[in-house]
Amino acid sequence: MTDSKTESVQEGAVDEAELSNFVSWTSRLVAACRAIETAEPDAVCSDPLAQHFAGAKAMDYVGTFAREQPQQAAAMLIGLPAKPGQKRRVSGIAVRTCYFDLAILAACNGNSSFAGIECTQPIRQVVLLGAGQDARPWRLQLPSGVRCYEVDQSDVVRAKEILLGRMGAALQTEDNASAQFPLAAAECHRLSADLTLDGWPAALEAKGFQKSQPTLWHAEGLLNYLSAAAVEKLLRDLSQTSAPGSLFTATMIADTTLVDQAARHTEQRFRERYSSVWGAPTPPDKTKGFMASCGWRVLEMTEMREAAQAVAPSMQCHFFQQEKEGDFLYYFVTAAVALHTGS
Ligand SMILES: C[S@@+](CC[C@H](N)C(=O)[O-])C[C@H]1O[C@@H](n2cnc3c(N)ncnc32)[C@H](O)[C@@H]1O
């Protein structure tokens, strides 16, 4: 099997924005998925920076996959046009993007009406964990005063900064007037760190992060790349770095999904790489208890299909095959820090 953790990924080798391994390269693949959805006339998410973040090679990679294996691609990466009498198939990536756009905005606006979000006060500090080429600090209509922090591996952060420069995105609001993509956040800071190791919270504080302020921690497409022990350590580190009122949002994949369905639903070269990096077992029936033991009170768990019905009711989404109604395979979690909540 390919050693995906150390392999130099040729597809990602885009001059100075080269990425060092397959996990890093996935940041550009999901950007390509967002770019493809953005171009749809009835797109469920809009990310005008995504095409720039993806680059030609990731766009080509996803496009080739879509041509060669349209059903599988439609489940994960891109949509499929509606057949007569049927709904359009929207990709899982598009659904998760839209779902967390709404969750992040609900938290920042202090609005409890989405995803079980509970806000004692509107969140003004958002940390994107494994941020990859997430463009939310530029593309979301954030209320004023929201500070964003993006944490990722050093090669991904380096690539992101090069790509932001190339596309003419503002790195600070002072540059907004002349920028192609103005910064929507009041501030946006990037931190190169391995989230499985010690020390990143202190490094984040050195960037201006305020531990005393309620924070929204968002981990989209991250936990599945970490071992179970690393997920547990990260969740504990997060709760210990959280002021009262802090929230956590994330994608999770059931372990059975990894073993059985990732294999059936992905093309060979994708599968070999993913099966060696998708690590964290998060059995859905244990998620609440597991998260409670790490200092988090689960507010809501939403399966992908249910999320799709909420954000794109005129479309259908089949990310993984459910054996029975109600199975949690690929799901979204919102949680509140247990500290000071009385739970
Ligand atoms: C599939 S991408 C998702 C990126 C982004 N959240 C999104 O949804 O567009 C996974 C990201 O997790 C990052 N990542 C994986 N392991 C990490 C670690 N140990 N520390 C920091 N970032 C990590 C990768 O570098 C990559 O950018």
pLDDT for 19-42, tens place per residue?
A: 777 888 889 999 999 999 999 999
Protein residue with its CA nearest to atom 13 in ligand 1: 130
Residue 332 and residue 298 in contact, taking contact as beta carbons nearer than 8 Å: no
List C-alpha distances in Å: 127 to 69, 241, 291, 299, 334.
35, 12, 19, 19, 14
Spatial strand order of the sheet with 330-337 comes to: 187-192, 147-152, 125-129, 216-219, 247-253, 330-337, 296-303
Q: For the whole prediction, is pTM greater than 0.75? A: yes
Confidence check: pLDDT of 161 > 80: yes
The reported pLDDT for the residue numbered 228 is 83
For ligand 1, is residue 30 a contact (CB within 6 Å)?
A: yes
Q: Please, what are the domains in the chain?
A: 10-89 (no CATH), 95-337 (3.40.50.150)
Amino acid type, 27? S
Distance CA 171, CA 163 (A): 12
pLDDT digits (tens, 9 = 90+) for 230-249: 999 999 999 999 999 999 99
Protein residue with its CA nearest to atom 24 in ligand 1: 24
For ligand 1, is residue 251 a contact (CB within 6 Å)?
A: no
What's the mean pLDDT in 65-74?
76
pLDDT digits (tens, 9 = 90+) for 215-226: 999 999 999 888
The reported pLDDT for the residue numbered 329 is 76
For ligand 1, is residue 26 a contact (CB within 6 Å)?
A: yes
pLDDT digits (tens, 9 = 90+) for 251-293: 998 765 554 555 554 555 555 555 555 566 677 888 899 999 9
The reported pLDDT for the residue numbered 5 is 36
Distance CA 158, CA 325 (A): 43
Distance CA 272, CA 277 (A): 9
Protein residue with its CA nearest to atom 25 in ligand 1: 24
For ligand 1, is residue 194 a contact (CB within 6 Å)?
A: yes
The reported pLDDT for the residue numbered 4 is 38
Confidence check: pLDDT of 106 > 50: yes
Amino acid type, 44? V
The winner for highest mean pLDDT among 22-26, 61-65, 326-330, 334-338 is 334-338
Protein residue with its CA nearest to atom 2 in ligand 1: 27
The reported pLDDT for the residue numbered 15 is 47
The reported pLDDT for the residue numbered 281 is 61
pLDDT digits (tens, 9 = 90+) for 176-201: 999 999 999 999 999 999 999 999 99
Mean pLDDT, rounded, of the chain: 85
What's the mean pLDDT in 106-134?
93
